[in-house]
Amino acid sequence: MNTNTLSTAEVRRPVVAEAALREFAPGGYHGATVADVARESRISPAYVFKLFPSKESLFVAALETCFAKVLVALADGADRAEGATPQAVLDEMGIAYAELIRDRTLLMLQVHAQSVAEVPEIGTALRAGLASVTEFAQRRSGADDVAVQRFMAYGQLCHLIVTAQIDDLPTEWARLLATGIRHPA
């Protein structure tokens, strides 16, 4: 066998992880089944289990795929701000992230992962993803700890505004939280 040739399983794993991301995002870990992911992947549930030995490992693969996409978007934003101040780099990274989550799939998967973080495998993967984003933001921006913490907190506030649909509520508390925060439609 040619060592440069990928096995069918190696080729299928990222395809199935992408399908899992799409299937888990709307309803979360409890709202989608391995059979749903198999159907979306156009393979049998048995083959999904061959690639991923448990539903937890399948969800983790979806979450890892999600965070990989987030890091690519943040890198694109940082590249646009090359040579700028640390805050300008963080701002561009935030804009790139807002553009990325326009379709809400990645956003919803992260929110659902937070809701089942007590599942050991999922909690570990969620923390690893958050660590990778935090460390990347600090490394690429050169910002201090406080600025990076604010960047991450602002991102979580954006998640809350979008998922709770408070950006257009005509109340004072909603206006206070959402002022200056707009996501691309």
DSSP 57-88: HHHHHHHHHHHHHHHHHHHHHHHHTTTS-HHH
Q: Residue 183: its pLDDT value, please?
A: 65
Are 59 and 123 spatial neighbours (Cβ–Cβ below 8 Å)?
no
In order of start, what are the domains of the chain with their CATH numbers? 8-178 (1.10.357.10)
Helix axes 55-80, 86-100, angle to 10 degrees: 130
Q: Residue 1: its pLDDT value, please?
A: 46
Q: Residue 10: its pLDDT value, please?
A: 86
pTM (global) more than 0.85: yes
Average pLDDT along the chain, 185 residues, taken 10 residues at a time: 63 95 97 96 94 97 98 96 92 92 92 97 98 98 97 92 88 91 67
Phi-psi region of 42 (alpha: psi -120 to 50; beta: other; left: phi over 0): left
Q: Residue 9: its pLDDT value, please?
A: 79
